[in-house]
Amino acid sequence: MAAREMNKILVTGACGQIGSELTVALRKRYGGENVVAVGRMTEPTIPELRETGPFHMFVDVTERSVLEMVVKKYNIDTIYHMAAILSAAGEQHPQLAWNVNMNGLYNVLEVARERDMVRLFCPSSIAVFGPETPQHDTPQETVLLPKTMYGVTKVAGELLCNYHVQRFGLDVRGVRYPGIISSETPPGGGTTDYAVEIFYEAIKHQRYDCFLREDSVLPMMYMPDCIKGTIDLMEADFASLQHHADFNLAAFSFSPAELVAEIQKHLPGFVCTYAPDFRQAIADSWPKTIDDSAARAEWGWEPAYDLPAMVADMLEKLGKKYEEGKI
């Protein structure tokens, strides 16, 4: 059977760190009018989000009727469901995390199933892993016993998505994102957020007080690879996929101290201090490096950026924004 085409795309969480850049990339690829961006509360940090295609605020994925209205209005056949509460925010508001991450996801899956949609992207995270998981080269199939509410919702979410593939033949795909580093929209509420904040502070104040210990190695990825991986998986041939909503995905891993040393190659006067808070326990429960061989074998995943290339590009992009008075 020929693959059905993705003609009308909806991005939820479009004002978020990944959603905002993903929307712009999808519009470049599939046409501005064909990619509808929706967010709940915050104004987009990227002006193009409003300028290059349809954009709606106040679309809360926990309200199924609102979601259905947008889906019907634009005849949506594909959803990138990026709306979620991340790990640190989820520990502060576990009930909210459950509501958004589970009930929101369930609404998206149900609307997609009822309307026989072509494809869905529902991201997972390295937060599905826990202290019992092997920390180095974490395998694709391994122990999933997370200790955060965010992780609990991501494990349940993966299972729910894979269930929809097997039970209803709905084409749901997803990856376990590592920490994502980017220069456009800042992240919010994550444990890996330090790796973005540090750049703003290095450029603006030459100092940063890090909320993780200097030796906390975590898997990370630069946004261009995140976008490429997301779109590549969604364009892969369904027949070549043995996994669906739970692909391990890796680029590089580093500790705060290693990131600081790399930044100091460009900004020798930069000083970092360390004051670990509650996020340290979350970081300690996650793996250090990830085995992503299933993604490589099944749909050709290969990241382009390593740590030095990411740092050079981040400093160039944010340095320019600083000079222009934008940050």
The only residue of 23, 191, 230, 285 in contact with ligand SER, by rule CB under 6 A: 191
138 burial level (CB within 10 Å; 0-12, 13-18, 19+): buried
User: Phi then psi for 175, rounded to 5 degrees?
Assistant: -125, 155
Please identify, among the stretches 55-63, 123-131, 162-170, 262-270, the one whose residues bind ligand SER according to the rule CB under 6 A.
123-131
- Under rule CB under 6 A, residue 13 binds ligand SER: no
Size of interface with ligand SER, in residues (CB under 6 A): 11
- Under rule CB under 6 A, residue 177 binds ligand SER: yes
Cα 105 to Cα 45, 212, 263, distances in angstroms: 24, 30, 38
Q: Could you tell me the smallest distance in angstroms from the CB atom of residue 177 to ligand SER?
A: 5
Strands 218-222 and 252-254, bridge-based pairing: antiparallel
| Range 81-100, binding ligand SER (CB under 6 A) | 86-87
Nearer to ligand SER, 180 or 202 (CB): 180
d(CA 296, CA 303): 10
Nearer to ligand SER, 127 or 165 (CB): 127
Nearer to ligand SER, 53 or 174 (CB): 174
Q: Which of 30, 74, 150, 305 is catalytic?
A: 150
- Under rule CB under 6 A, residue 133 binds ligand SER: no
CB 228 within 8 A of CB 304: yes
Q: Could you tell me the smallest distance in angstroms from the CB atom of residue 295 to ligand SER?
A: 16
Please identify, among the stretches 161-169, 190-198, 228-236, 290-298, the one whose residues bind ligand SER according to the rule CB under 6 A.
190-198
Nearer to ligand SER, 150 or 208 (CB): 150
Nearer to ligand SER, 55 or 211 (CB): 211
The only residue of 125, 183, 253, 285 in contact with ligand SER, by rule CB under 6 A: 125
d(CA 283, CA 297): 28
Nearer to ligand SER, 87 or 248 (CB): 87
- Under rule CB under 6 A, residue 190 binds ligand SER: yes
277 burial level (CB within 10 Å; 0-12, 13-18, 19+): exposed
The answer to whether residue 150 is catalytic is yes
Please identify the residue of the shown chain whose CB is closest to the bound ligand SER. 190
Nearer to ligand SER, 179 or 256 (CB): 179
CB 203 within 8 A of CB 320: no
d(CA 169, CA 212): 42
Among 187, 188, 186, 192, smallest CA distance to 217 is for 192
User: In sequence order, what are the residues at sequence separation of 6 or more whose Cβ sits closer than 8 angstroms to the Cβ of residue 22?
Assistant: 11, 14, 80, 82, 227, 230
Q: Could you tell me the smallest distance in angstroms from the CB atom of residue 150 to ligand SER?
A: 6
Please identify, among the stretches 22-30, 72-80, 119-127, 267-275, the one whose residues bind ligand SER according to the rule CB under 6 A.
119-127
Amino acid of residue 51 = E
The only residue of 44, 174, 179, 287 in contact with ligand SER, by rule CB under 6 A: 179
Listing from the earlier edge strand, what are the strands of the sheet with 119-121? 55-56, 35-38, 9-12, 78-81, 119-121, 172-173
CB atoms within 10 A of CB 207: 12
The only residue of 102, 127, 170, 195 in contact with ligand SER, by rule CB under 6 A: 127
Binding site for ligand SER (CB under 6 A): 86-87, 125-127, 150, 177, 179, 190-192
Active-site residue set:
150
